[in-house]
Amino acid sequence: MIELTKKLVETWGPSGYEHRIRDLISAEVAELADETWIDGLGNLICRIGSGGVKVLIAAHMDEIGLMTNYQEPDSGYLRFTNMGGLQNNTLNGNRVLFEDGTVGVIAVQDGGGKALSDYYIDVQSDGESNATPVGQAAGFMREMQVRGNRIIAKSLDDRIGCVVAIEAMRKLRRQTPNEVYFAFTVQEEVGLRGAKTAAQGVHPDIGIAIDVTGSGDQIRGRKMIVKLGGGAAIKVHDPGLVVPVAIKNWMIERCEADDIPYQLEMLMGGTTDASAIQMVDAGVPSGCISIPTRYLHTTSETVDIGDVHACIDLLTGLLANPIDL
């Protein structure tokens, strides 16, 4: 699991440019599914089983990034806009990688930093020449580290959700009484776009997103009962999703039956692919299994390995048993 996580989090793939991470995941799941395909928006969808309750599992492949949109005259400095939820106070000094291999350094004008327009990317290759043109997407650069039972990396949102999905596929060994579709979705960070087309194509009976959530165990942090090391977080509510009681109880009962540590998640800001899935067709009962994460949308997102395993066990248990809700 650690090796797979490292490969995924260190792979370049900002929103709308998920082709590299999709190729990597495609290779990982090639022997784990009965059928795989890529839909028109770029989601990778994998089917296991047939004929039972139709379940759509969604974990998004994209990561937050940026798009260059202006070059300062006669300089190697590029202005940029966000692709997803950048936190301005974390940008200064960060390095970004363009698909052509150019490395840029984000800097801020003296006294600035409140507005994104205060920042620029230094891509000078020599003197004042520009190493890459405008109109290029970039993702953040940072190697993954393991500290005891903690994984620290960029883009754990939501590559760690992809890891949970892949490892559950591995444990299922293509055996399920249900008809399960694993969707590795695109463009979640810019509007849950991939989940919408995936759900429209699959027409599921039940939807489950696998995504990260915040934690409430940081000093002077937000008040939230979710904590690292507390187990899988079963979503109850977020601004985009009120989880149906039957879905929530189904997940709780599975945890208690399989002795999986769990906690309940009430998220005050943000949402997941599940909020898009629930609105498809005449409505799809949807929930979310969340991985508690510190320092979201930074290059040092942090998760607990035990929580990741709890999420894998929960997802596997839900799909390995007949569903009767």
Which are the catalytic amino acids? Answer: 188
- Of the candidates 178, 180, 176, 183, the one whose C-alpha atom is nearest the C-alpha of residue 199 is 183
Could you tell me how far CA 69 lies from the centroid of its own chain? 25
| Token pair belonging to 237 | 């509510």
| Residue given tokens 């999905």 in the structure block | 165
166: phi then psi, degrees, rounded to nearest 5? -65, -45
What 3 state SS string does 234-299 have? EEEEECCEECCHHHHHHHHHHHHHHCCCEEEEECCCCCCCHHHHCCCCCCCCEEEEEEECECCCCC
Q: Looking at the DSSP assignment, which residues form a beta bridge with residue 154? A: none
| Residue given tokens 């048993």 in the structure block | 321
99: phi then psi, degrees, rounded to nearest 5? -65, -30
Mapped onto helix, strand or coil, the DSSP state of residue 213 is strand
What 3 state SS string does 101-141 have? CCEEEEEECCCCCCCHHHEEEECECCCCCECCCCCCEEEEC
| Residue given tokens 């490969």 in the structure block | 7
160: phi then psi, degrees, rounded to nearest 5? -70, -30
Q: Looking at the DSSP assignment, which residues form a beta bridge with residue 79? A: 70
